Amino acid sequence: MSAVAFLDRAVAQAFFGRFAGLRPAQEYAIPHVVSGRNLVLVSGTGSGKTEAAVAPLLSRHWQDALRNEMLTLLYVTPTKALANDLERRLASPLQNLRLRLGLRHGDRDDLRSSATPHVLITTPESLDVLLVRREPSLDGVRCVIIDEAHLLYNTQRGLQLAILLQRLRQRTGHGLQWVALSATITEPSQVRDFLFGPEEPAEFVSCPVDRPIDAHIRWVHNAQDLARVARQMMDGSPTKVLAFADSRRECETLAETLAETLAGSLGPAAPVFAHYSSLSPTVRVETEKRFAEAQSGICVATSTLELGVDIGDIDAVMLWGAPSSVESFLQRIGRGNRRATKSNVIGIVTNAAALPVLEALQFAALIEAGRGGSLPIRRPYELFGAVAQQCLSVLASRDGGWVKMSEFMGLMERQAHVDRPRLEAIVSSLGEAGFLQRHSFKNQFGGAEGLYRLVDYRMVYGNFPMASQQVEVRHASKCLGEVPAANLLRIRRGDTVRFAGHRWRVLGAGPEGIAVEPTARKGPAVDFQYGTSGAGCEAHLLDRAWRMVHSGAAAFDDFAADLRRNVEPVVHHLRALGGINSIPCFSTTLGTCYLTFAGRMANTGVALASGQRNILVDNVALVASSPIDWSALPTAPEEYQVLFERLSDQTGDQTLYQSLLPVELQLHECTQLWLKDATVADVLSRLANSSPGRIDPAIGRLLTGL
């Protein structure tokens, strides 16, 4: 019996009436959800996950929603773009059920401008806004969908959402049925553990989509080469290509080059579009619409189109440079050929790449991992930054009024790692930083000046890295540069700051920027905070690249002839050392360079554990001033505990709230990247059981930036 029989007849007709049958993900998921159970559903891009969650939830609640005119279903997405796209997809079936659909994000608030929607699509930050403003319509919510859950797993935004849902439960006074959706999760139960706690009852459904990858990796030497690749893709029948670049600058440059090189041969028949986060919402939506309607064309995008925004059927996906993770690779190629039986992928290695041969090996490892469904395994992280943010958010919802410590603890009951001593330490640190104040004799806390500034700058709702939101530093009409917006909380008019090698007096600071003038004033000065640099390419991908070099994997068959001619000598040279338990090395003026293919963090750990004084590492290699006894290295990540303070330098950008944590909790967060990644233990074991072997320095330099 088809799962459609479990649904209310009207709901089944609205969502599936025009289809001959359900997709596998829908067949497996619907009976669980319509029975009232929580669910983590993992299924490929374009497999019908959204309908698999929305239809059975509405089957249970849509008539009550109409009868009581209440908001019933909350749909949480990581991005505004995906929220907008979901509105377009869900509008018709919900309208057929006479259900109102609304949006709440930074560009739109349907709770303010119209009758209360029955279904609301929002983001974690906008849900925070609604709880702070004590939105009455939240009282009726019965169920929640978390889309693209892999983007929230093990992140501060994910922890923020977990606590927000606990606040929502406390507010409504009843339980919430939930469904979490993703295309790229290895262990579904770990998503449940991180977002809801391991005690939460849930079902787990994985429906892998078997779509072969037809890949072709090219080396593009110049604009003419790129034009040749583009013409090969675009000539003949109408063709639509989605091209991904990793930065806004690369996105614009690539779009301009493609437009110029294609103009002479294909002209207006193949328009070129650009799509990235700095463009206004109006421009992005218009670009999506025009590209979706085009018969042929190329859209160059950053990760803004990595998620399931509807831009029509894509014939091929071009990757301008290798993505840094398998998850990102799978998300990107999953956007193409949804109606076909395979994914067409064109990987581009460019002369602009710092290490073209290494990038080619990364492409090969990505393709092999994608074909084998291999994803890194990372156990749930113990995070605290969003705990600090949520304490302040709760205070903001009380207009800074007093909150008992027991109330804060009640919000953390599903976060087993947030015990009373740690929460006390977090709250004390927020007090020392001027964001809250302790009651003179009660164990209660109220708002302080820092909290009200957070609210004024609308920074109390988010857990984005500090470097992601920038404000200009200006002297008169000249822009001196940009600094993270979180610095607005640290400086005041009249302060002295250091910037661009000079001292400046602050004339004013706000969301529009920081105005300064030169000053000769001596004494203390404020240093801007910038966050820390990212850890680079993930260890899982690099380790796969190394193992693949020795396995003779067929992924090298996907290389164009000229690229293969450059890569094969390197691969043969590395294979000659004797297998995966070898460590290529060569001499440099600074010492011996060892190629570990272990990732930056592991290389730093090895350098520290082996007593190297001057640490010089990248993702692939480390330079040692003295020989390393590899057999003496610890193989358990926990054995590196004494080195964690140094290893913490290798983490990604901090959020404002992470920077406000006690130092010991900041360090604890940093260790999660090391302790909870299964690849780290595998890599350490491989290195401890390996022996170094000399290679040609010219080969070594092709693979390392040191």
Quickly tell me which residue has 């979706």 as its tokens.
292
pLDDT given at position 508? 92
Q: In degrees rounded to 5, what are phi and psi of residue 658?
A: -65, -40
Which helix or strand (DSSP H or E) is residue 60 part of? helix 49-68
- The answer to whether the beta carbons of residues 59 and 7 sit under 8 Å apart is yes
pLDDT given at position 238? 82
Strand partners, 205: 41
Query: Is the Cα dihedral 627, 629, 635, 638 positive or negative?
Result: negative
User: Above 50 in pLDDT, residue 53?
Assistant: yes
Confidence band (pLDDT; 50, 70, 90) for 449? very high
Query: What type of residue is 30?
Result: I
pLDDT more than 90, % of the chain = 62
The reply to whether CATH 2.40.240 applies to domain 466-527 is: yes
- The answer to whether the beta carbons of residues 295 and 236 sit under 8 Å apart is no
pLDDT given at position 650? 45
Contacts of 306 (CB under 8 A, 6+ apart): 244, 328, 331, 332, 335
Q: What is the pLDDT of residues 668-703, one digit of tens each?
A: 998 998 999 999 999 999 999 999 999 999 999 999
The CATH code of domain 3-207 reads: 3.40.50.300
Confidence band (pLDDT; 50, 70, 90) for 263? low
> Do 3-207 and 466-527 fold alike per CATH?
no
Confidence band (pLDDT; 50, 70, 90) for 340? low
And the tokens for 433? 């930083």
Long-range contacts of 222-226 (CB under 8 A, 24+ apart): 222/351, 223/257, 223/260, 223/261, 224/261, 226/257, 226/258, 226/261, 226/348
Quickly tell me which residue has 């001593």 as its tokens.
421
User: Above 90 in pLDDT, residue 80?
Assistant: no
Number of continuous H segments (helices) and E segments (strands) in the chain: 25, 28
DSSP-derived secondary structure for 171-190: HHTS--EEEEEESS-S-HHH
Higher pLDDT, 336 or 204: 204
pLDDT given at position 512? 81
Cα angle 573, 579, 583; round to 5: 75
Q: What is the pLDDT of residues 227-251, one digit of tens each?
A: 788 877 776 678 889 999 888 778 8
Q: What is the pLDDT of residues 493-531, one digit of tens each?
A: 999 998 866 789 999 988 788 999 999 888 888 888 765
And the tokens for 483? 């600094």
- Eight-state DSSP code of residue 662: -
Rounded to 10°, the helix 678-688/600-609 angle is 50
Q: Which residues of 304-343 are buried (b: 16+ CB within 10 A; e: fewer)?
A: bbbbbbebbebbbbbbbbbbbbbbbbbbbbbbbbbeeeeb
pLDDT given at position 100? 97
User: Above 60 in pLDDT, residue 304?
Assistant: yes
Burial class, 561, CB count within 10 angstroms (exposed 0-12 / middle 13-18 / buried 19+): exposed
The CATH code of domain 213-362 reads: 3.40.50.300
Q: Taking residues 649-653, report their average pLDDT.
A: 55
And the tokens for 315? 């014939």
Longest Cα pair distance anywhere in the chain, in angstroms? 81
Mean pLDDT, the chain, rounded, equals: 89
Q: What CA–CA distance (Å, rounded) separates 567 from 589? A: 26
- Coil, helix or strand at residue 472: strand
DSSP-derived secondary structure for 247-307: SHHHHHHHHHHHHHHHHTTTGGGS-EEEE-TTS-HHHHHHHHHHHHH-SSEEEEESGGGSS
Sheet holding 513-518, edge to edge: 478-484, 470-475, 513-518, 502-510, 496-499, 526-527
Confidence band (pLDDT; 50, 70, 90) for 19? confident
And the tokens for 619? 């993702």
Number of Cβ within a 10 Å radius of residue 396: 21
Contacts of 113 (CB under 8 A, 6+ apart): none
- The answer to whether the beta carbons of residues 468 and 655 sit under 8 Å apart is no
Contacts of 280 (CB under 8 A, 6+ apart): none
Average the pLDDT over each of 11-25, 78-92, 297-311, 484-498 and give the range with the smallest value: 297-311
And the tokens for 83? 């929220």
Burial class, 405, CB count within 10 angstroms (exposed 0-12 / middle 13-18 / buried 19+): middle
Q: What CA–CA distance (Å, rounded) separates 263 from 12? A: 48
Q: What CA–CA distance (Å, rounded) separates 75 from 64? A: 18
Q: What is the pLDDT of residues 134-163, one digit of tens each?
A: 999 999 999 999 999 999 999 999 999 999
User: Above 90 in pLDDT, residue 327?
Assistant: no
Confidence band (pLDDT; 50, 70, 90) for 259? confident
Average the pLDDT over each of 118-122, 183-187, 480-484 and give the range with the smallest value: 480-484
Q: What CA–CA distance (Å, rounded) separates 479 from 30? A: 55
Number of Cβ within a 10 Å radius of residue 152: 25
Q: What CA–CA distance (Å, rounded) separates 185 from 153? A: 9
Instruction: Put residue 266 in one of left, alpha, beta given phi > 0 → left and psi -120 to 50 → alpha.
Output: alpha
User: Above 60 in pLDDT, residue 444?
Assistant: yes
For the chain, which residues make up each domain, given as ranges? 3-207, 213-362, 466-527, 572-701
Q: What CA–CA distance (Å, rounded) separates 692 from 595? A: 9
pLDDT given at position 542? 95
